[in-house]
Structure 1
């Protein structure tokens, strides 16, 4: 054994706490940042907030004394009645409530002409319906749990399946579709066979195979397919199922004023953060060292957060400024003028790392005169052009493919090769495999899948 000292040289990147926080906040969406700041406000007593809309407080004050008189209306219901000239209508009459799928089903169960114990079992089944509207729990499991015979459980499931919306309470997609067919009064066995045995073929529009298997005409098989495709695979659709809609909040607004575009950062995403004055006084108190150390730690954390939020804002602004410079024609004239643009290109021009640009645009949106746009959608790779020598955006190629498919004769749909040839005649330079790739990305079926008989 031998002991010796050796000198080695190595490179390491040690990220400070501030750097880590800055990176973390940069890649957050506006919604995620809002949640994070609210959490920090609760956990860090040094942080204080001032709501962005506070300037409007005086203007928007509610006269509560005036509002109290409306509480005398019974149940705050939506009754319609004649209104005299002096009489005011309660604002509560216009408050609407989200009706959940389960509440809608409970109301129907309560109105059933069934014994109370059957209604109780049905209400239990309603609580086990998932967000798609299916009842995936098995009959024997329910039977064991409730200590009730399976025959009664089966009867109650049939009761649930008789309710609206059609297809509710099915155990899977096939049963869901068959319930809807049955409620339409269709008795043709062939349509049930297609659902039971040929759904995969139907998804691929393989009507020749379906027709051959059932011994029917291809056109008839297509008619059955059209009926099945008109059904609702998710009975819960259109009802509130417990998941709130997350509204998109733009990080910035792009405004055109006097032929110039301006970037206005959305400061309403989060409240304005400040340092609580009380904790500034504690630091000057030398008597309680533990309190001073605690406040200093929390103060550093608060300052890190405020600086990181400011850094996030300035980084996004710089990226948008460069995008606006490159995509001026897009903002002026529309999608057809979107130029090819990559993360690497923007990173090099701003002298930033590519990963920083990626984080800066992740789940970020801008509001323009064209509506709300995801920043990431403005980045597209290039396809070289034969005619002009300029690069063409992938977005334009996809739009061209979609237009050709929309206009085609559905009895003789265009093959990928034909689409490829037509696009190349326009001066673009793509292959058949590229057409197939972009078609699939847009969810467009192949020519066989689009064929109508």
Structure 2
């Protein structure tokens, strides 16, 4: 048989991941903050895209009883749907009427209930050794310019770069820890060299006000001074307010505060040297190493509890970043639940057709026409992708509400075991799509704000071999039992296993121990010691 080259024409179907499809998949897993940043970048790059701030709403209504009955697409005139058990029925694609102003509908308007689609569709680099000669670290003043201005010019935090100060920004501002310590530094350490060392130490403080991992010889070499001088400045800084600041460890932090109160006696020093015994509630060992009786130990422990292991927490408070939910859920007046997309998290983007018509008609050559056409297609694809993302999120959230209906009515003890495959099969999507949708998405419910991933828990076999229980519900039950235990009857892991099996939950002792440790609950021995010490 002779070998020869030839050309064959064959027809085959393949799935090609185009850049547009990759973009649509990427948009699914973005959080609302990441999505807003992405849209901002696209608007900067595409002159045909613009934002629109008009009001719009999107939502679904899920009516029914506890078991999660049927749902209907609720909202506008063009919505459709009828009740049906266990699923979202009656979804039909509607042709949205064009807006009266002649523009294209934006992404939020496209997710309204009358237009919902179907399911088929810079480091600090300061060389102190060169910038500040050894005479800067003389004990007297050298008549140079203000050391704080020099520090700020070389990359230190704080201060103003020019003389224009925003008075309104400082009227209600809370004093920072750095400002508080700098004021004391100016008074207690008048030498400029000492102040430079103090400023370096201030900038090394962590959120608790500690200096973990402080290498004094390395800092001295960087600043071009002796290690003894750094030690002396550090000792002076440790007398600053708040007490316990500039400590290098928990022991030193507590010792500074006790010394401030004149309570650092030999017995207390011995207790600080054996803090691990205090953490283990080993009172007998503490009495032995400190040479005191039980009453003295109780007094010493009470004094330590009054101390602040994190002296910097009263300063530089960063407001807690509140989670903005992507889905809003509330009870329907006639029973069931109402599910809405949060319009605040949906970028309102539209394509400016009028501008496209004007610039396309003014194109002078082929390159300009191709660029305008590519930008127009990209803009349309982005709007479509954002609409598809919002629709998919709403579908997944709606199915989660159906599946976990008992949780929203009765609480965490009724949380059902749920995996991605259950949702994917119910709504006709792939597991990977459901996984992307539930990543960094939050839903505001009558029981609080939850990440969508929270509702997916593994199953624990029931004692009867049939019923299964959610792992999260079992953890909640274990915590409830431990919170209700009495000092004279602390529940061991084995006892917890017996109680849970009596309630129909077949669970191993090692699983109970794993759940308990994950919730940061001490062992039964440690809990007994802690409860007895409070009596």
**TM-score where L is the length of structure 1:** 0.79
Structure 2 residue aligned with 1:15, among 17, 24, 43?
17
Q: How does 1:312-391 map to 2 (within 5 A)?
A: 312-386=389-463, 389-391=466-468
Structure 2 residue aligned with 1:246, among 308, 312, 321?
321
SS in 1 for 2:443: strand
Query: How much has 1:203 moved relative to structure 2?
Result: 4.1
SS in 2 for 1:268: helix
Residue 31 of structure 1 corresponds to which residue in structure 2? Answer: 33
Q: How does 1:150-169 map to 2 (within 5 A)?
A: 150-169=227-246
Residue 66 of structure 1 corresponds to which residue in structure 2? Answer: none
Runs of 5+ in structure 2 lacking a partner? Answer: 58-164
Residue 45 of structure 2 corresponds to which residue in structure 1? Answer: 43
CA shift digits 1:143-188 (9 cap, x unpaired): 2333333333222212222223332212334333332333343223
CA shift digits 1:266-290 (9 cap, x unpaired): 1211441112343442223341333
- For the pair 1:397 / 2:474, whether they are aligned, the reply is yes
Provide the rounded CA distance (Å) in 2 between the counterparts of 1:101 and 1:93: 17
SS in 2 for 1:383: strand
Residue 366 of structure 2 corresponds to which residue in structure 1? Answer: 289
Q: How does 1:250-269 map to 2 (within 5 A)?
A: 250-258=325-333, 259-269=335-345
Residue 161 of structure 2 corresponds to which residue in structure 1? Answer: none
Query: How much has 1:51 moved relative to structure 2?
Result: 3.1
SS in 2 for 1:237: helix
Q: How does 1:271-310 map to 2 (within 5 A)?
A: 271-276=347-352, 277-310=354-387
Q: How many residues align?
A: 416
Query: How much has 1:49 moved relative to structure 2?
Result: 0.9
Q: How does 1:105-124 map to 2 (within 5 A)?
A: 105-110=181-186, 112-117=187-192, 118-124=194-200
Query: How much has 1:193 moved relative to structure 2?
Result: 3.8
- Compared CA separation, residues 49 and 98, structure 1 to 2 (3 A): farther
Residue 132 of structure 1 corresponds to which residue in structure 2? Answer: 208
Provide the rounded CA distance (Å) in 2 between the counterparts of 1:332 and 1:308: 34
Higher helix proportion (structure 1 or 2): 1
Choose 1 or 2 for highest CA Rg: 2
Query: How much has 1:250 moved relative to structure 2?
Result: 0.5
CA shift digits 1:329-373 (9 cap, x unpaired): 222233233222221211111121112111111121111222322
- Compared CA separation, residues 235 and 345, structure 1 to 2 (3 A): same
Residue 185 of structure 1 corresponds to which residue in structure 2? Answer: 262
Provide the rounded CA distance (Å) in 2 between the counterparts of 1:12 and 1:380: 35
- Compared CA separation, residues 298 and 9, structure 1 to 2 (3 A): closer
- Compared CA separation, residues 141 and 76, structure 1 to 2 (3 A): closer
Structure 1 residue aligned with 2:493, among 416, 421, 433?
416
SS in 1 for 2:350: strand
Provide the rounded CA distance (Å) in 2 between the counterparts of 1:217 and 1:22: 70
CA contact (8 A) 2:277 2:286 kept: yes
More displaced 10-residue stretch of structure 1: 393-402 or 221-230: 221-230
- Compared CA separation, residues 289 and 107, structure 1 to 2 (3 A): farther
- For the pair 1:439 / 2:439, whether they are aligned, the reply is no
Query: How much has 1:447 moved relative to structure 2?
Result: 1.1
Provide the rounded CA distance (Å) in 1 between the counterparts of 2:312 and 2:26: 37
- Compared CA separation, residues 303 and 244, structure 1 to 2 (3 A): farther
CA contact (8 A) 2:413 2:474 kept: no
- Compared CA separation, residues 368 and 96, structure 1 to 2 (3 A): farther
CA contact (8 A) 2:198 2:233 kept: yes
- Compared CA separation, residues 52 and 401, structure 1 to 2 (3 A): farther
Provide the rounded CA distance (Å) in 2 between the counterparts of 1:13 and 1:212: 74
Residue 312 of structure 2 corresponds to which residue in structure 1? Answer: 236
Provide the rounded CA distance (Å) in 1 between the counterparts of 2:270 and 2:381: 65
CA shift digits 1:289-329 (9 cap, x unpaired): 33322233333332232222111111110011111222222
